[in-house]
């Protein structure tokens, strides 16, 4: 279902503001790198949440999700058929689980927002279809990031994500649904800002990407259908068909000289090479 958004604009930042966002992005990146190692069998999702809160505070930041009305945790932890917005709790992680960890931090008033999907126990512990799902979703994120270009319409991002997943369906032989009910967003002094960033092809070009603008791109992909519902906890989004899901996200700056993936430890150079130009 293509969805038409009202006319939106992308906020322009100064280069110094983008550099300030990189500081928040690094805290999020390092926190997620720590959590990737910590997501081992026997840990609970609440354990991960506590580790993340301590890490962010120890690094001069504060968790941003707690500032979302009604939400009390540092992370969202979404396991297996949970797509996004899973609440950390007593759930024990088991070998082979797919856990998507979404993390946001504020440093000096600026936000970083990123997510990874991890197979508990490592890829060798995962079902082949889950390993493929996690890799295809991450690949689609990077395809979306690569399509972000100053002067070009923002909706090129979602088209690139969708094309990447279409290719992955043919290569891997899995159905792969792209979730359309949740989208990426502008980011800066607030975590969720205009414009919406669809992770799938929509009609039109979308708002024109402006020099020194920042967005969070965050494809969510399932092994089955993309249809979903929210659990009675009013947060956790699960697939209707019970298929597993993955979620990857980066906060990205676009500027005249290229891209800077603010929540990637290497700024994105490892994946996008010459497209990356740190400020």
- Shortest separation between residue 146's beta carbon and Mg ion, angstroms: 19
d(C-alpha 196, C-alpha 154), whole Å: 9
216 binds Mg ion (CB under 5 A): yes
d(C-alpha 5, C-alpha 57), whole Å: 36
138 binds Mg ion (CB under 5 A): no
- Shortest separation between residue 192's beta carbon and Mg ion, angstroms: 7
* CB contact set of 271 (below 8 Å; sequence gap of 6+): 142, 145, 261, 264
Stretches 77-85, 89-97, 150-158, 213-221: which one binds Mg ion (CB under 5 A)?
213-221
Stretches 101-109, 120-128, 164-172, 271-279: which one binds Mg ion (CB under 5 A)?
101-109
User: Binding residue for Mg ion (CB under 5 A) from 49, 82, 113, 162?
Assistant: 113
56 binds Mg ion (CB under 5 A): no
- Shortest separation between residue 264's beta carbon and Mg ion, angstroms: 14
CA distances from 163 to 168, 171, 173, 176, 219 (A): 9, 12, 15, 12, 12
84 binds Mg ion (CB under 5 A): no
- Shortest separation between residue 84's beta carbon and Mg ion, angstroms: 8
Of 185, 173, 144, 203, which is closest to residue 1 (Cα–Cα)? 203
Stretches 64-72, 110-118, 175-183, 239-247: which one binds Mg ion (CB under 5 A)?
110-118
Stretches 100-108, 157-165, 231-239, 263-271: which one binds Mg ion (CB under 5 A)?
100-108
Residues in the site for Mg ion, rule: CB under 5 A?
A: 102, 113, 115, 216, 249
């Amino acid at each position: 279902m293509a969805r038409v958004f009202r006319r939106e604009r992308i906020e322009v930042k100064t280069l110094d503001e983008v550099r300030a966002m990189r500081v928040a992005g690094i805290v999020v990146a390092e926190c997620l790198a720590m959590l990737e190692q910590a997501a081992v069998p026997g840990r609970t999702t609440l354990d991960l949440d506590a580790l993340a809160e301590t890490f962010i505070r120890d690094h001069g930041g504060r968790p941003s999700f707690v500032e979302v009305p009604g939400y009390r945790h540092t992370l969202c932890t979404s396991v297996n058929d949970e797509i996004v917005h899973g609440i950390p709790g007593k759930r024990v992680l088991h070998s082979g689980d797919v856990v998507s960890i979404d993390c946001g931090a504020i440093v000096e008033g600026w936000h970083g927002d990123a997510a990874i999907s991890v197979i508990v126990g490592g890829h060798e512990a995962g079902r082949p279809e889950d390993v493929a799902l996690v890799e295809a979703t991450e690949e689609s994120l990077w395809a979306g990031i690569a399509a972000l270009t100053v002067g070009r319409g923002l909706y090129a991002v979602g088209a690139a994500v969708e094309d990447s997943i279409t290719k992955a369906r043919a290569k891997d032989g899995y159905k792969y649904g792209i979730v359309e009910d949740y989208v990426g967003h502008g980011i800066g002094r607030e975590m969720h800002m205009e414009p919406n960033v669809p992770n799938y092809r929509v009609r039109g070009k979308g708002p024109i990407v402006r020099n020194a603008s920042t967005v969070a791109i965050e494809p969510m992909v399932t092994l089955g259908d993309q249809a979903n519902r929210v659990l009675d906890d009013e947060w956790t989004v699960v697939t209707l068909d019970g298929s597993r899901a993955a979620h990857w996200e980066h906060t990205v700056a676009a500027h005249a000289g290229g891209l800077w993936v603010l929540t990637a430890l290497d700024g994105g150079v490892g994946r996008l090479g010459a497209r990356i130009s740190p400020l």
